[in-house]
Homo-oligomer: A and B are copies of this chain.
Amino acid sequence: VRVELGDRAYDILIGSGLLDQIGSLIHDRLGDVRCLIVTDENVAPHYLARCKSGLPEGEKTAAIILPAGEPTKSFDHLQNVVDAALSARLERGDAVIALGGGVIGDLAGFAAGIVRRGMKFIQVPTSLLAQVDSSVGGKTGINAAQGKNLVGVFHQPALVLADTDTLETLSPREFAAGYAEVVKYGLIDDLEFFEWLEANRADLFSGAQSAQLRGEAIARSCAAKARVVAADEREGGVRALLNLGHTFGHALEGFCRYDASRLVHGEGVSIGMVLAHRFSARMNHASPDDVGRIEAHLSAAGLPTRLDQIPGEKPTAETLMEYIAQDKKVARGALTFILTRGIGQAFIAKDVPASEVHKFLAEDLGTA
């Protein structure tokens, strides 16, 4: 899949066994470069040795292994990665390689964007979520006390290698969470893709054809995201459509204090997409039938779809509204939501009355 961004255009390569060819794939595109591999403690035992074995030996390839998990997206670890790149004497034409999921990709990409005011960056996403979402589009960043992803840069990779073999080491829950973002691309503007997913979901999750079906789903997802990003790199317009389900989803993640044992990102997005469709139906934009169809598909994939499926303390409408108001997608105080007219017909709704959202959540939580 080619991402068309003028002089920053790049390729996303998707397939089985790419990790073993990493050396020649990088050399073909970037020439003889030094590399810093950034990875985490979960991914390193599985893939770091294979990644390194394809790259030049000795001082040309450095590596840094960080703790796994969301708290790694911090100023402290950003500084650690920057220091590792500078200590390895990497120059502007050299590359930072992110080997891992979204956390590693966001952090390593941010570091690559600021070392010497911008180095080359290569994504090797090892989770489904990272392969279909965070590795495409150039958004990088870390979290702040005030919220997630509030500090970062736009920095496009020079190359993305999505090796579908790495999905084998994902837990079923992580795989399902990534699948929520795959479904999202169907819901935004591609009814036919959603129907393809309905027809192939079971075989994609397991079975003899799963590798080939996964590759196809990832390629279609990346192509969908690449189209949107090429049209609106800096999120001035249509790129906001990619936030379908994310305003509610982020609020739920915030409410759970990003505790992955309660809710991971893809699960928040799954519930958020159902809420966005149900709210759209309530506002008479969409048919309630679509809500049921989406809910059935996500449930069958093992994803939560309702607020009451979140374990532990239940949120109140007031609490969720506070998280929504804090969300960075709030433009100058007005609430901007991604709503829909049906499957494959999402649209950007500006100036959605907060009172309507509040009423909807209160009803949904049975506290109206």
Chain B: minimal CB distance from A105 (Å): 15
| A141 beta carbon closer than 8 Å to chain B | yes
CB < 8 Å: which of B86, B118, B146, B332 contacts A153? B118
Distance between Cα atoms of A151 and B90 in the complex (Å): 12
Given the known A-B contacts A91-B331, A332-B91, are A153 and B75 also in contact in the complex, defined by CB atoms under 8 Å? no
- Enumerate chain B residues within 8 angstroms of A257, measured Cβ to Cβ: none
Q: Which of B117, B153, B328, B330 touches A114 (beta carbons < 8 Å)? A: B153
A175 → chain B, closest Cβ, in Å?
Answer: 29
Q: Does A144 contact B (CB under 8 A)?
A: yes
A115 touches B79 (CB 8 A): no
Query: Is B328's CB under 8 angstroms from A116's CB?
Result: yes
Interface residues in A, total, Cβ within 8 A: 31
Q: Among A116, A151, A328, which residue has the most Cβ atoms of chain B within 10 A? A: A151
- Tell me if A154 is interfacial: C-beta within 8 Å of chain B: yes
The reply to whether B144 and A83 contact each other, CB–CB distance below 8 Å, is: yes
A150 interface contact, C-beta 8 A = yes
Within the assembled complex, what's the spacing in Å between the Cα atoms of A116 and B234? 11
C-alpha spacing A113/B144, complex, angstroms:
15
User: Quick check: is A145 within 8 A (CB to CB) of the other chain?
Assistant: yes
A37-60 residues with Cβ-Cβ distance < 8 A to B are none
Contact of A87 with B by CB under 8 A: yes
Chain B positions within 8 Å of A139 at CB level: 117
Interface membership of A82, Cβ < 8 A: yes
Q: Is A152 an interface residue (CB 8 A)?
A: yes
Q: Tell me whether A93 is interfacial, beta carbon within 8 Å.
A: yes
A154 and B154 CA atoms in complex are apart in Å by 11
Closest to A33 in B: B332
A-B contact pairs, 15 of them (CB 8 A): A75-B75, A75-B79, A82-B151, A83-B144, A86-B144, A86-B147, A91-B330, A91-B331, A91-B332, A93-B332, A114-B114, A114-B151, A117-B139, A117-B153, A118-B154
A residues sitting closer than 8 Å to B (CB atoms) are: 75, 79, 82-83, 86-87, 91, 93, 110, 113-118, 139, 141, 144-147, 150-154, 234, 328, 330-332
